[in-house]
Amino acid sequence: MNKEILVTRSALPEMEEYIEEIRSIWENHWLTNMGNKHIALQEKLAEFMGVDKIELFTNGHMAIELALQALNLQGEVITTPFTFASTTHAIVRNGLTPVFCDIDPADFTMDVTKLEALITDRTSAILPVHVYGNICHVEEIERIAHKYGLKVLYDAAHTFGETYKGVGVGNFGDVSCFSFHATKVFNTIEGGAACFRDPRIGEKLYDLKNFGIHGPEEVSGIGANAKMNEFCAAMGLCNLRHVKEEIAMRKTVAERYRDGLEGLSGLRMNVIQKDVDSNYAYFPVVIEESEFGASREEVFDALAAENIYARKYFYPLTNTFEAYHGRFSADRTPAALHVSKRVLTLPLYSSLELSDVDRIVGIIRACHV
């Protein structure tokens, strides 16, 4: 049997580099609660991402959930169902109602031509998702949000390190939330961050991630606990030193796929967005069975038979989750439904060998008739 290839493989620094980084933790015995590593990573990330302000969290989900809370929203939040469970759950767990906008089939992000029709007098915010490294139509979203006085929170989990027209992607919206989960382009084992400009949002986020504790004898908010610990921050400091190289290697893998899969009828690759400096987070392909000659399921199975595990991502849509049974209808987001039934994200990580990419391409080509 061939070696197992999973859809991703977490980036790790050399073990010695991490040991060197955590040595000082043994010297000061400060393991969490905004220690030196936390503060250092916050500063280094702000610089790398080109953002003014950033708060670190225990994971990307808590960044989204608490950022929604910090924005003090009510009623309805317009979002998309073509995302990870986290986005929709964060809205619902805040007692807010998600209203699903369809996606643009070209780049899988919110279809801004459908957005305005969904705004009601109960709408308080828009929560668009940057998907696979594709950046949302940020200018149009900003225009509409401004026109109706809505807040904007981006789920930027897929777009670490990207720029749009030279501007760090974390600068868009009132808040942009990132995930540093083990499977993401940049990881802190588990971790996340929220980027924002308004210092009042920063104060709220800080309180919300630390029980609302404002001073040694002052608890002024009803916060949760979502602080990034020192070992995770140390992993972030190490991985950040190598992330440019990580992205460059991902680019080489992605380009190899692109060359190999070029010209296959019924197989559509991701768009290359102009003005976006991509991080090559994922390599999705959308397979139209009638043209390609095989279904997404058949391609998935053919790869799995060779011990290669692609991922049906995002599938199912969040508005079809069993947890939300009877509450939403995917019929209202037909483009998202169409894509989610046909998309496959192929294995992509910096250490994936080009010979393995060629093998994966060969298996996919063999499915094509």
Q: Which residues form the interface with ligand PLP (CB under 6 A)?
A: 59-61, 83-84, 86-87, 129, 155, 157-158, 179, 181, 192
Q: Which is nearer to ligand PLP, 280 or 292 (CB)?
A: 280
Query: Shortest approach of ligand PLP to residue 158 CB, angstroms?
Result: 6
Sign of CA pseudo-dihedral 112, 116, 119, 125: positive
Q: Which is nearer to ligand PLP, 119 or 159 (CB)?
A: 159
Q: Which is nearer to ligand PLP, 239 or 292 (CB)?
A: 239
Gap between the Cα atoms of 25 and 41, Å rounded: 14
**Cβ distance 320 to 231 under 8 Å?**
no
**Cβ distance 154 to 175 under 8 Å?**
yes
CA distances from 188 to 37, 38, 62, 176, 214 (A): 12, 11, 14, 18, 26
Gap between the Cα atoms of 369 and 352, Å rounded: 27
Q: Which is nearer to ligand PLP, 86 or 278 (CB)?
A: 86
Q: Which is nearer to ligand PLP, 8 or 264 (CB)?
A: 8
Query: Shortest approach of ligand PLP to residue 84 CB, angstroms?
Result: 4
Query: Shortest approach of ligand PLP to residue 14 CB, angstroms?
Result: 24
Gap between the Cα atoms of 180 and 313, Å rounded: 18
**Cβ distance 141 to 115 under 8 Å?**
yes
**Cβ distance 310 to 336 under 8 Å?**
no
Query: Shortest approach of ligand PLP to residue 60 CB, angstroms?
Result: 3
Gap between the Cα atoms of 159 and 132, Å rounded: 7
Q: Which is nearer to ligand PLP, 158 or 256 (CB)?
A: 158
Instruction: Provide φ and ψ at 219, rounded to 5°.
Output: -115, 105
DSSP state of 10: -
Q: Which is nearer to ligand PLP, 35 or 192 (CB)?
A: 192
Query: Shortest approach of ligand PLP to residue 137 CB, angstroms?
Result: 17
Sign of CA pseudo-dihedral 69, 74, 75, 80: negative
**Cβ distance 191 to 56 under 8 Å?**
yes
Query: Shortest approach of ligand PLP to residue 173 CB, angstroms?
Result: 14
Q: Which is nearer to ligand PLP, 87 or 278 (CB)?
A: 87
Q: Which is nearer to ligand PLP, 158 or 209 (CB)?
A: 158
Query: Shortest approach of ligand PLP to residue 318 CB, angstroms?
Result: 10
C-beta nearest to ligand PLP: residue = 60
Query: Shortest approach of ligand PLP to residue 210 CB, angstroms?
Result: 18
Query: Shortest approach of ligand PLP to residue 187 CB, angstroms?
Result: 9
Catalogue the long-range contacts made by 83-87 (C-beta closer than 8 Å, 24 or more residues apart).
Answer: 83/129, 83/131, 83/155, 83/314, 83/318, 84/157, 84/314, 84/318, 85/318, 85/321, 86/60, 86/61, 86/155, 86/157, 86/179, 87/127, 87/129, 87/155, 87/318
Gap between the Cα atoms of 369 and 364, Å rounded: 10
Amino acid at 276: V
Q: Which is nearer to ligand PLP, 155 or 230 (CB)?
A: 155
Query: Shortest approach of ligand PLP to residue 89 CB, angstroms?
Result: 9
DSSP state of 85: H
Q: How far is CA 202 from the centre of its chain?
A: 21
